A and B are shown apart, each in its own frame.
Chain A
Amino acid sequence: MGKIEAKNIVKYFQHDGKPLKAIGGVNLTVADGEFVCIVGPSGCGKSTFLRILAGLEKPDDGEILLDGKKLVNTGPDRIMVFQEGALFPWLTVEDNVEYGLKVAGIPEKERHDISKRYLDMMQLSQFANSYTYQLSTGMKQRVAIARALVMDPDVLLMDEPFAALDSQTRDLLLVEMQMIWQKTKKTIIFVTHNVPEAAVLGSRVAVFSHRPSVVKKSLDIDYKRPRVAEDENLGQFEKQILSALRHQGPK
């Protein structure tokens, strides 16, 4: 299961020595198996919010519940895919993917079987023994996704993972991401600043306001999958997201 609830999350940043309220009480409930994209103006704290969900930062107020249980620390039930992948350059692709399993003490044979399955799924099998510097940016993000999936987390947290990709690679991964979601039925929370990307991926899009941020609008995207970025029918959803983003000056 992977129902995650954020209740009244508040976070301050230090700005010139003064506390600055970045997140001003975000409430967000994501149902098990839902694919939610978070968009918002830059500096609204959407990445910080995701890091709080991951347990990598502590909120100044509010709490996070996973299937009704309060979360305090980070842990493999919520795996984060970082913007730059955060792959370990001293390990091969295969060892990167198996890292979390090894830490959990899973025997080598079993580890191999699991990683092989996800390397196949992400079309990385022939790169299993490569080091990460030998891979393109797109390949690296595939490895990062495989490394997250092997952990079989309840929730997958993705922090602008496609921001550094060229548009062709991104389009390909947008389709693959939808297939992964349909295949694994994971709860996914995906932060992006790219509105078309949110419309393609999300079954729901949560629009954050300018800081101190709250959830300004929650928009269901009820449209057949797999979706592609150039589908004109997604335009109406994009317009709604954009207008929600626009109707707000800095407070």
Chain B
Amino acid sequence: MKGNLLGKKIAFYVLIIVVWQGIDSANIWPDNIFPSPIEVGEDLLFGISDASLLYGIGTSMWRLIIGLAIAIGGGMLLGIFMARVETVNQTIGSLVLGLQSIPSVAWVPLAILWFGLTDSGIIFVTAIGAIFAVTINTYTGVKNIDPSFIEAARNMGAKGGQLVTTILIPAAFPYMITGFKQGWAFAWRGVIGAELLFSFLGLGFLLNVGRQLNDVSQVIAMMLVIMGIGILIDGFVFKKLEDKVMTKWGLR
């Protein structure tokens, strides 16, 4: 079954490339509008050989990791407070829902004014785009904890910080993972969007350079890299983490 699935996937992607090459060979559009897969591949190889692509990936990933870490840490903290302190929920809670509706790129002008064209500005956009998804899922998770878990823990002597680390976080973790997954997706969009607009290194910047040079194959190559990293992180980091937690919890 598993081999069969992999076969299907490979066949599908091979088909796409073949069709793509076919359309290119038909010469419907000029090459500077519609590049062939070979040209895109050459661009990728060139980017790797002169290290500009690797440097771009490294820069974007570094910003992503810092931004996402801030979002996860801050979002968990905020979500737990919202779930446990009614006043925080009634006040900050309503604001969080409002803020979550702002697309991350809409934070870019503010970030440029506050931080200038710096890494901090891009990290700010990344973190703020992701933090509310983590907050809301953490809040839901903590709210849904079986109250007898908390009572049993308090009864056995757990207090304050101990209650948070030994009960609230692990008990809400299946929900939090959903928050991390959503947060990561928002963060990745945020980092690329911000790099495009900041035009300051990273994959989003390389994408923009492609446009400025009228280099369609570079643009498509960068989009493929952005998509590829997305698939890898989704499949290897978050899927694995989710599987592990769900299995351990007996949820699947």
Contacts and interface: CB of A to CB of B under 8 A. Distances in A.
Q: How large is the interface on A (under 10, 10 to 19, 20 to 34, 35 or more residues)?
A: 20 to 34
Given A75-B157, A104-B157, A151-B156, A86 B173 contact: no
Contacts of B166: 99, 102-103
Contacts of A56: 151, 154-155
Nearest to B156: A100
B157 A100 contact: yes
A134 B250 contact: yes
Contacts of A75: 155, 157
Interface stretch (A77-85, A118-126, A212-220): A77-85
Interface string A47-89: 0000000111000000000000000001110111010101011
B248 interface: yes
Nearest to A91: B170
Q: How large is the interface on B (under 10, 10 to 19, 20 to 34, 35 or more residues)?
A: 20 to 34
B87 interface: no
Nearest to B245: A90
Nearest to B163: A103
A76 B250 contact: no
B151 A80 contact: yes
Contact of A80 (B152, B158, B173, B248): B152
Given A88-B167, A90-B248, A134-B250, A82 B148 contact: yes
Contact of A99 (B146, B156, B171): B156
A86 B148 contact: yes
B118 interface: no
A89 B249 contact: yes
A131 B250 CA distance: 8
B149 interface: yes
A133 interface: yes
Contact of B152 (A82, A90, A102, A133): A82
B153 interface: yes
B154 A74 contact: yes
Contacts of B157: 75-76, 100, 103-104
5 contacts: A75-B157, A76-B157, A86-B146, A88-B170, A99-B156
Give 5 closest A-B pairs by Cβ, nearest first. A133-B250, A100-B156, A86-B148, A86-B152, A90-B170
Interface of B: 146, 148-149, 151-158, 162, 166-167, 170-171, 173, 248-250
